[in-house]
Chain A
Amino acid sequence: MSRTALLAAAMLATTAVPSMAQTPPVQKLDGLVNWVYDYEQGRKLAGQTGKPMFVVFRCER
């Protein structure tokens, strides 16, 4: 794995979608990154691992 890929893997801890009643299903992304689709879950993971979060908002319209 390249230096770049190592950095990205370490950073891509979460993407933000919260838990709410009536929240539509998450449109999951394909790829090499294990995205977390729940912000609070991402925060918990970041706290446990000591890693920073890379929180991404993407909109498809």
Chain B
Amino acid sequence: MNGINLDLFQFEFDLTWMSFFMDAENRIYTRYGGRDDSSPESHLNRDSLLATMRSALSLHKLQDVLTSRLEPTGRTVRTPEQIPTMRAMLAKRKNKCIHCHDVKVASLRHLRNQDKLKRHMVFTYPTPANLGITVASDRQSVVRDVKPGTPAARAGVRRGDRIVRAEDHRVLTLGDLSHVLEKTPDPGRLSLELRRNGRAVPVRLDLPAGWRKSSDPSWRESLHVVGPGCGLWGRRLNANERRRLKLDPGKLALKVTYIWGPHTRKAGIRVGDVIVRLDGQARDMTIKQLNAHPMLNKAWGDTIPVVLRRKGRKLTVQMTFPQQPAD
């Protein structure tokens, strides 16, 4: 991301892959990329990319670039290097490569340094799933399913509808819709123009407070900025290991493989321990989900109980997070 104009290239910086179809004048036809909580490639596939490429070629012939009020102009140049906290981050590295997630990490840290950081700010670039919509895998503007009780369901969005516009912004892809959702307030309202059986159907979604949040943001690399982590890495025990230790298959069982947090060592946690409960949480989790729990729910300086299995014995330790972030 070194030197990239962030005013022009706005996207989910927690992602590992994103693309833009553009003309030579910095104008955008459509965006392709984005993910939900399930996997990095949840919305990346050959069919949808080819469909988007075909659409982009058609739009290019007509010079039909996006012109909505939500489109960046790119006239103001703002680079990652200009984020005040980026310099300190790069100073610690041999390789001065700025990764996508570094942009978000540096931006959130800058807000934190200004006492403006709120935990919910980590939930950037919501996807249609936040509205209750699942889009088709090959044509990302087509509604494959609508979850009952969600803003989309309440507004009357139906399976098979095609989302043509969000606000005044053309929608061809999940990336296009996500771009609009990023600019939509919380709580807020969103106007969609749908195409249903050849007819234009306008709907308005009422988005309640907290609509931008998703249920499992543990994939977000920037999460560690908004709250304290456990300072350890580990792996889930397999079925045989769980059987041997008489641990429930559906419950938390993470073997500690690496510790980097001084607070983790101070709590008495050791490599080889098996974590079976953390801050009252005993559901089966990945290590990323385990680390995400305090980041999303605890404050710096808080103390939480951690229940361990060590050499067949059960013990409870208290982990006190640092009073402030180390960075």
Contacts and interface: CB of A to CB of B under 8 A. Distances in A.
Interface of A: 4, 7-8, 10-11, 16-20, 22-24, 39, 43-44, 46-47, 51-61
Given A46-B24, A57-B18, A18 B53 contact: no
Interface residues of B, number: 34
A11 B97 contact: no
A24 B56 contact: no
Contact of A11 (B16, B57, B100, B101): B57
A51 to B, nearest CB: 8
B33 to A, nearest CB: 8
Contact of A52 (B11, B15, B50, B56): B56
Interface of B: 1-5, 9, 11, 15-24, 26, 29, 50, 53-54, 56-57, 60, 79, 81, 95-97, 99-101, 221
A17 B2 contact: yes
5 contacts: A17-B2, A18-B2, A52-B56, A58-B16, A59-B15
Given A18-B3, A24-B95, A8 B53 contact: yes
A30 B92 CA distance: 30
Nearest to B16: A59
Contacts of A17: 2-3
